[in-house]
Amino acid sequence: MQTIQQQWAQCQTILADNLTSSAYRTWFAPIVPVQFAEGVLVLQVKSQFVAEYIEQNYLPLLSSAIIRVFGAGTKLEYRVLIDSTTGAGTKLPSAGAVAQTMPVPGAVRQNENFDSQLNDLYTFDSFVPGEPNKLARTAGLAIAKQPGYTAFNPLFVYGGSGVGKTHLANAIGNQVRALNPQSRVIYVSANTFKLQYQDATKNNKVPDFLNFYNSVDVLIVDDIQYFAGLRGTQDTFFHIFDYLQQSRKQLILTCDRPPVELKDIQERLLTRFKWGLSAEIKEPDYLLRKNILLSKMKRDGIDLSGEVVDYIAQSVRSSVRDLEGILASLLAHSTLTDREIDVALAEEVISHIVAIQPRVITVGDVIGAVAEHYGISEKAILSSNRSREITQVRHVAAYLCKEMTHSSLTEIGFKMGRRTHATMLHSVAIVKNQLEFDPALRQHIAQLEAALKY
């Protein structure tokens, strides 16, 4: 029989697999399991603030882990340690009993209490829009209004870890249910679908399994790449896919890569993945990172200076999940150590969580940014066109290449249409001279420098 420490270690493994390393270390690694008796699990936390933050932000995930390890029906309590010498503490009940279970596909009943397994926190209101997610979000909004009756069926959303794929998929499902509460929407991870299929096969209940999934109006499968190499699971999903598609039901799939890069997936499935819309969610750019931080701050009642927000947005580039983890860690450090959140604290916290690497700006980056800023083509900048407008833009590009890249003037000239060192030197000198008396040009240069840095 496992000890409570061994069981909690299993829960921690599940939590660590589903959180950023920073969020896990800050909120869950310090927790100590105290007691598990009469269906109640007591976890010791450092402060009431920690318990409240976990309840507000991580309860669905924590509940899922506890159900999986300790069993359905388990209730959760927190114990806040008051005196480490005597061991005295106070208990805080969780917001609700941890009693939710994943629906087991079975015979379909008309009036069953259908659990969609959607995360209620993942809505379009909490999904911060930006250029990196514009296409996927726009398609998602259209689907929510008419699931199964748009050209986006299936919707195949792909992108790196932590960019918001799961959030968007849940947001679509939640919006469908808000507009039509009778809709049968189910969210399932590819791994859970696989386990359900294996259980159905083992217990001779495959027909019930198929009936369950064929009865839904919107099927959301997260992390479809985990179907790779699972022939039986793929065969079954193929039949479900075809039935739902032909019945004008909506399919939403998420993946860490585009269909063309999937391996060990049947060709007939890959073909169907491409039937609708494949929409990439890219890593958040500077503006989206900043807006995400502002949104999280507003939601959680956090007040950070513009300087701190800018520093975080500049330093944490990879994913939305990392941004959330950094914000949580900052808040925890500030609360538990009674320090003001300033750039120094932000730098200290971030340096222990992510590798801060200054962006390496290339000549190509500069030419692209200048072309976009002035609304002309890169080809025009590199051409022999000597019109006054093009020439001035070319001068600006040369100046910025000199100031912001590690390339020599000879290298810059070669990459800007095989121009000479002397030509580049002349362009740089012209812009330097103009900057002394032209405020409009100074503003353009400042905007371009900010765009290239962030």
Instruction: Output the six-digit token pair for 133.
Output: 């997610």
Amino acid at 98: V
CA–CA gap between residue 444 and residue 453 (Å, rounded): 14
353 against 299, higher pLDDT: 299
What CA–CA distance (Å, rounded) separates 172 from 159? 17
| Average of per-residue pLDDT values in the chain | 85
Per-residue pLDDT, averaged over 409-416, amounts to 93
Angstrom distance (rounded) from CA 10 to CA 16: 10
**Rounded to an integer, what distance in angstroms lies between the CA atom of residue 398 and that of residue 412?**
7
Mean pLDDT in residue range 55-84: 79
Q: What is the pLDDT of residue 137?
A: 94
Q: What pLDDT does residue 255 have?
A: 94
Fold assignment, 363-453: Chromosomal Replication Initiator Protein Dnaa; Chain: A; (1.10.1750)
Confidence label for 378 from pLDDT (cuts 50, 70 and 90): very high
Strand 185-189 versus strand 277-280 pairing type: unpaired
pLDDT of residue 111: 42
Of residues 359, 270, 282, the one with CA closest to residue 319: 282
Mean pLDDT on 412-441: 93
- Cα distances from 216 to residues 26, 231, 385, 441, in angstroms, run 39, 23, 60, 59
Q: Which amino acid appears at position 178 of this protein?
A: A
Give mean pLDDT, residues 395-423: 93
Has this prediction a pTM greater than 0.85? no
Assigned token pair, 244? 């739902």
Q: What are phi and psi of 88, to 5 degrees?
A: -70, 145
Place domain 4-93 in its CATH homologous superfamily: DnaA, N-terminal domain (3.30.300.180)
Q: How far apart are CA 116 and CA 103, in angstroms?
A: 8
- Give the pLDDT of residue 382: 94
- The pLDDT, as a whole number, for residue 238 is 92
pLDDT at 97: 41
Max CA separation in the chain (angstroms): 84
Give the tens place of pLDDT for each residue, 115-141: 888 888 889 998 999 888 999 999 999
> Is the CATH number 3.20.20.70 carried by domain 286-351?
no
- Find the range with the poorest average confidence among 96-100, 220-224, 424-428: 96-100
Name the nearest CA neighbour of 363 among 378, 385, 383: 378
Taking the domains of the chain in order of start, what are their residue ranges?
4-93, 131-280, 286-351, 363-453
Specify the pLDDT at position 173: 95
| Domain 131-280, CATH number (from 3.30.2320.50, 3.40.50.11540, 3.90.550.10, 3.40.50.300) | 3.40.50.300
